[in-house]
Amino acid sequence: MSEAVPRIEYIGRTAVVTLDNPPAHVFTASILRELAAQLNALEADPAVAALVITGAGDRFFCAGDDLNMYVGVNPAEARELTRLLAAVITRLHDFSGLTIAAINGWCLGAGLECALACDIRIGEAHAQFGLPEGRVGLLPCGGGTQTLARQVGAGWAKRLILCGETVDADTALRIGLIEEPVPAGQARDVALALAEQAGRQSPRAFAASKALIHANHAGDLETGLAREREAFGDLFDGSDAGEGVAAFLEKREPRWDHNRSRST
């Protein structure tokens, strides 16, 4: 098996999934496929009552997608790639047990979307959060445009998505992006303690309560993901996506065409 495959460790009835694709734990197509399969297997395992997802080391939770995936793709191929991320996001969101993101460093793009799909987010003091896709001619395609505003409100969602702003753990706590900030190296342990607390709850009461909380959130995640896939693919029917990805990979500033008319 590739070293990039996420690692799974079992602690009591909690499964700890560790993203481990150094240095920044970015998602490739093969990693997303494997992660979706792992999450499906954990959902089907009656011995697993909670899930903690974190990153290896102390610098990155996950820095998002590997942009090499999007080099030279057409709109249909781009939309197909987004389905790989959607499968992971949907499984995290719909997981029957408690899901906790133990955010141990930079949490960007698809990494933040995975964290948003979890029930609870614990962020270490040095963590940074953002959805910088617009800087490379892309947009969040794993529910970011749908779930971030529900979590932090439209204003902050627009700052992170439309302005490409990143926020630290203190700001993330203040705006409701994370539930608890902790010192460096402690997110995993705090997450495991919360998972143990949840394990003391009545299983039927837990399941019913989680379903009711999800139902109270306006909008349907599946519909939102489908809309994002369409919009993401549309970006490849023009120059912005190709130029943005190329500029990032070539370590230069993108040269946008600002003379084109805006979409209506």
Comparison of pLDDT for 113 and 240, the residue scoring more: 113
Q: Is pLDDT of 263 > 60?
A: no
Tell me which residue of 152, 105, 153, 149 sits closest to 129, measured CA to CA.
105
Query: What mean pLDDT value characterizes the chain?
Result: 92
Q: Are 53 and 17 in contact (CB under 8 A)?
A: yes
Cα–Cα separations (whole angstroms), residue 79 to 15, 71, 138, 230, 246: 30, 13, 12, 7, 19
- Per-residue pLDDT tens digits for 26-50: 999 999 999 999 999 999 999 999 9
On whether the pTM is more than 0.95, the answer is no
Domains by residue range for the chain, with CATH: 1-185+203-264 (3.90.226.10)
How many CB atoms are located within 10 Å of the residue 210 CB? Answer: 18
For residue 212, the model assigns a pLDDT of 86
HSE value, Cβ hemisphere, 13 Å, CA-based, for 186: 10
Residues catalogued as catalytic: 113, 133
Q: Is pLDDT of 259 > 70?
A: no
Task: Please report the beta strands in 1-42, taking only residues with DSSP state E, as ranges in sequence order.
Answer: 7-11, 14-19
Over range 116-122, report the average pLDDT.
97
Q: What does R_g of the chain's alpha carbons equal in angstroms? A: 18
